[in-house]
Amino acid sequence: MPNSFSLEQLAREIGATFTGDASIVLTGVSSLEKAGPNDLAFLTNSRYASSVSQTKSPVILTDKELPGISKTFLLSSNPYAALAKVIGLFYPPTKRPEGIQSGAWVEVGARVDLTASVSAGVVISKGAQIGARTVLYPGVFIGENVRVGEDCIVYPNVTIRENCFLGKRVILQPGVVVGSDGFGFAKDGEEYKKIPQVGNVVLEDDVELGANVCVDRAVLGSTVIGKGSKLDNLIQIGHNVVIGSNTVMAALTGISGSTQVGNNVIMGGQVGLAGHLKIGDNVTLATRTGVMEDILEKGVYWGSPSCKMNEEMKNVAAYRQLPELIKRIRVLEKALEKIRVVNDHEK
């Protein structure tokens, strides 16, 4: 069940300020449209400001007071980050029982911390290590010599294959596969011969992978996802890819083998990167960008093949004029043909 907080307590917990009655008690958090009289509502996008006057919520979490609105305001310079804290306070994570539950299979030689939670249906192979307070949900497979750090959450039906390494506070959503074989084949006559993939995957501290993300193991060495990086659902990371810290990717993005991605990179949905590329720090790739060459200069890129956003916007504007330009060219061609006929007749 969610907790309850007075406005004063809530402001103190998240490091915010407030206006109005400090003793107002809030028992939940909701959107402006659905909030009840005991809910905190939030305004993190100015396009919804018109809904504030109609909400039943007595308190609005936002960045500044709205003139002419008779509401109490909980104020934060970063309301979206404050909202994350608020939700965590009202709805703390469910506490899982410590220890190895009946129906789990732990092979001899595996080491599981006494404070870890191992659910029924989990398989932990020999040589694996599971850190303190880590939670493994039903159906998780842990391969040989895998190391999972402290305070990780591994949701149902995740596979972590042999020799892979997870740091602290890693979150893997359902269906993630870490350490699948990379797509490596050598042409031998008319056949393709499989290249053994004997490397591993390293997920550094505070990485989160969305549902059904696949991260291929390296041919040799490691595929690496850096500290604090967050990947959305249905993303493919090829073998020997190295991703820096605090990089975020939206769904359906794919990165081909041996590409290196820098720190603080942002990728929209359906971005595709060819193999053996380098993407520098602080690069933003807009939705459906196709990258075929290195991008070392920070900035916003778009299009396929990719180019600077402002250049691609000019290209798009030109594309939209093509139908009208074609019509005009046909009119001009007909006019020129008439002139040619007249000239030929006069000769």
Provide the pLDDT for residue 345.
80
Same domain, yes or no, for 273 and 181?
yes
Whether the pLDDT of residue 57 is over 70: the answer is yes
Cβ neighbours for 343, distance < 8 A, ≥ 6 positions apart: none
Which tokens in the block code for residue 267? 């990728």
Start-to-end C-alpha separation, the chain = 95
- Separation in Å, CA 135 to CA 58, 201, 237, 265: 37, 20, 24, 29
What domain range is 25 assigned to? 5-90
- Place 204 in a pLDDT band, splitting at 50, 70 and 90: very high
Whether residue 181 sits in one domain with residue 71: no
70 falls within a domain? yes
Residue 3: band (very low, low, confident or very high) from pLDDT cuts 50, 70, 90? confident
Is 318 inside any structural domain? no
Instruction: Report whether 253 contacts 265 (CB < 8 A).
Output: no
- Average pLDDT (203-229) is 98
Pick the catalytic residue from 71, 147, 161, 239: 239
- What span, in angstroms and rounded, lies between the C-alpha atoms of 76 and 69? 18
- For residue 2, the model assigns a pLDDT of 58
Same domain, 86 and 163: no
Same domain for 182 and 54: no
Last residue of one domain, picked from the residues 305, 323, 338: 305
**Contact by Cβ (8 Å): 244, 203:** no
The string of DSSP letters for 304-345 reads TTTEEHHHHHHHHHHHHHHHHHHHHHHHHHHHHHHHHHHHHH
Per-residue pLDDT at 198 = 98
Return left, alpha or beta for 34; rule: phi > 0 is left, psi -120 to 50 is alpha, else beta: alpha
The verdict on residue 135 lying in a domain is no
Name the residue with tokens 């595709």.
272
Residues 184 and 74 in one domain: no
| Closest by CA position to 13, among listed 3, 66, 328, 21 | 3
Number of domains in the chain: 2
State the pLDDT at residue 244: 98
297: number of Cβ within 10 Å: 10
Average pLDDT over residues 241-268: 98
Count the neighbouring beta carbons within 10 Å of the beta carbon of residue 6.
14
Of 58, 90, 122, at which residue does a domain stop? Answer: 90
Is the distance from CB of 8 to CB of 20 less than 8 angstroms? no
- The answer to whether position 196 is within a domain reads yes
pLDDT digits (tens, 9 = 90+) for 279-325: 999 999 999 999 999 999 999 999 999 999 999 999 999 999 999 99
Three-class SS of residue 199? coil
Structure tokens at 93: 């994570």
Q: For 297, phi and psi rounded to 5 degrees?
A: -90, 130
Judge whether 234 lies within some domain: yes
* pLDDT exceeds 60 at position 1: no
Name the phi and psi angles at 324, rounded to 5. -70, -40
Q: pTM value?
A: 0.91
* Contact yes or no for 151/157 (Cβ under 8 A): no
Q: What is the mean pLDDT of the chain?
A: 96
Task: Look at residue 263 and tell me if it is in a domain.
Answer: yes
Catalytic site includes residue 276 = no
Residue 126 contacts residue 143 (beta carbons within 8 Å): no
CATH no. for residue 53? Answer: 3.40.1390.10
Report the C-alpha gap between 162 and 198 in whole angstroms.
10
Least reliable range by pLDDT among 3-7, 92-96, 163-167 = 92-96
pLDDT of residue 94: 86
Last residue of a domain, one of 48, 68, 90: 90
Cβ(278)–Cβ(294) below 8 Å = yes
pLDDT of residue 313: 94
Q: What is the CATH number of the domain that holds 282?
A: 2.160.10.10
Note whether 65 and 172 are same-domain residues.
Answer: no
209 lies in the same domain as 301: yes
User: What are the backbone angles phi and psi of residue 340, rounded to the nearest 5°?
Assistant: -65, -40
In a domain, 146, yes or no: no
Task: Determine, yes or no, domain membership for 47.
Answer: yes
Same domain, 170 and 272: yes
